[in-house]
């Protein structure tokens, strides 16, 4: 199905994938409505553009994201299965109303959930299975041990962790090889640089930055971001009220860098991105690639979008080079961001490690 080839990266434990993935939470209504055909069209476009890392989870759209991915493998699409790396996750449960979640990481639950994921995906294995959140009631050794059993049984190829602390990464790696750690990382969220990325390097894993566009704030839409419920942005402290206004002011500096890189290309500021104008999202992603080189971490960021054009735009970041002065100005922003990554400090490594945004 793929018409293009993208550069690849070996994360850890022998898992090779493209240097940019697709955040398949966007195949559900997380950031606004998407109908089934638009979801299918967008996913097909990502794969046609050469993206092979598809990031899903059992709870995205209550399984809708996984079911949409299964369409890639149906009928004549069966041969596509081996050319993509499908990631899913276990451990977050919906409880009660919007945004209300709990965590579960016991062995029985992990074993039960993989079977539902495989049925929804229409495949006999996932390439990467993440512990979605660390269960405070269950030692990480039990959860990772349960996923390691699934590796032995052939249902899972590689093990991932989402939002672990640095210490939890080291403990998990004592149980089984960890291929990837996935945590929020962007110009506006740099806390992982303190403990998580050093541990990722130490255990030989790769890193998958989620919400690399700060949930739409680090894009050309920054002035008009829709953060009204039921949109998932409504629950994030940095995307509402006075915090949002402060953070929008910081995006102006990212937009200034985008304008500079556009000028240096000899492209008009009013040109469309498809004609070479550099966007805020492209600068945000190019910054991540620059940090990964500086910090010696192998990454595959996973921007999510409901739009094929934006997949092209986000892949265009691979051609954006930022100079040292631009990187210095972008590096300074996280310290000024108002509001933590999550309203619940226990929910993120940032909260559990007692860190700020920089």
Active site (catalytic) residues: 60
Burial status of residue 80 (CB atoms within 10 A of its CB: 0-12, 13-18, 19 or more): middle
Q: Position of tokens 């899972």?
A: 156
Angle at CA 22, nearest 5°, toward 21 and 27? 165
Q: How far is the CB of 132 from ligand NAP (least distance, A)?
A: 6
Q: Is the peptide bond before 247 cis (omega within 30 degrees of 0)?
A: no
Residue nearest to ligand NAP (CB): 23
Kindly list the distances between the CA atom of residue 340 and the CA atoms of 9, 184, 202, 226, 297, in Å, as whole numbers in the listed order. 30, 11, 27, 19, 24
- How many CB atoms lie under 10 A from the CB of residue 133? 24
Pick the closer one to ligand NAP by CB: 155 or 277: 277
Strand partners for 220:
none
Residues forming contacts to ligand NAP in the complex (CB under 6 A) are 23-26, 31-32, 55, 132, 162-163, 182, 210-216, 219-221, 281, 302-307, 310, 313-314
Judged by beta carbon, residue 79 or residue 223, the one nearer ligand NAP is 223
Question: Could you tell me the smallest distance in angstroms from the CB atom of residue 266 to ligand NAP?
Answer: 22
Question: Of the two residues 173 and 217, which places its CB atom closer to ligand NAP in the complex?
Answer: 217
| CA 48 to each of CA 41, 152, 207: distance values in angstroms, whole numbers, following the listed order | 10, 32, 24
Shortest CB 76 distance to ligand NAP, Å: 27
Least distance to ligand NAP, CB of residue 317, Å: 9
Backbone torsions φ then ψ of 243, nearest 5 degrees:
-60, -45
């Amino acid at each position: 199905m793929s018409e293009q080839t993208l550069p690849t990266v070996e994360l850890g434990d022998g898992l090779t994938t493209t240097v940019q993935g697709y955040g398949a939470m966007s195949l559900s209504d997380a950031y606004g409505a998407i109908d089934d055909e638009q979801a299918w069209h967008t996913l097909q476009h990502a794969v046609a553009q050469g993206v092979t890392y598809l990031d899903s989870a059992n709870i995205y759209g209550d399984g809708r994201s996984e079911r949409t991915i299964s369409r890639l493998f149906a009928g004549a699409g069966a041969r596509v299965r081996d050319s993509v790396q499908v990631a899913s996750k276990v451990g977050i449960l919906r409880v009660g109303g919007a945004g209300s979640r709990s965590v579960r990481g016991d062995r029985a639950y992990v074993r039960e959930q993989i079977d539902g994921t495989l049925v929804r995906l229409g495949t006999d294995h996932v390439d990467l299975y993440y512990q979605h959140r660390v269960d405070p009631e269950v030692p990480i050794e039990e959860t990772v041990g349960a996923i390691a059993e699934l590796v032995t049984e052939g249902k899972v190829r590689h093990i991932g962790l989402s939002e672990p602390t640095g210490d939890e990464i080291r403990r998990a790696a004592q149980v089984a090889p960890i291929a990837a750690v996935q945590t929020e990382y962007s110009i506006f969220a740099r806390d992982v640089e303190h403990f998580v990325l050093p541990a990722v390097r130490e255990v030989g894993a790769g890193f998958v930055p989620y919400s690399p566009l700060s949930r739409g704030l680090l894009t050309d839409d920054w002035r008009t971001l829709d953060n009204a419920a039921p949109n998932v942005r409504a629950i994030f402290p940095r995307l509402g009220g006075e915090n949002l206004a402060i953070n929008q002011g910081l995006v102006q500096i990212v937009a200034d860098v985008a304008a500079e890189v556009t000028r240096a290309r000899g492209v008009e500021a009013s040109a469309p991105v498809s004609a070479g104008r550099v966007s805020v999202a492209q600068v945000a992603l190019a910054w991540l690639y620059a940090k990964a080189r500086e910090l010696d971490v192998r990454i595959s960021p996973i921007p999510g979008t409901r739009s094929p054009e934006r997949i092209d735009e986000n892949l265009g970041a691979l051609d954006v080079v930022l100079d040292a002065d631009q990187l210095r100005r972008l590096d300074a922003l996280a310290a000024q961001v108002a509001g933590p990554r999550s309203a619940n400090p226990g929910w993120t490594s940032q909260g559990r490690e007692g860190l700020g945004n920089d």
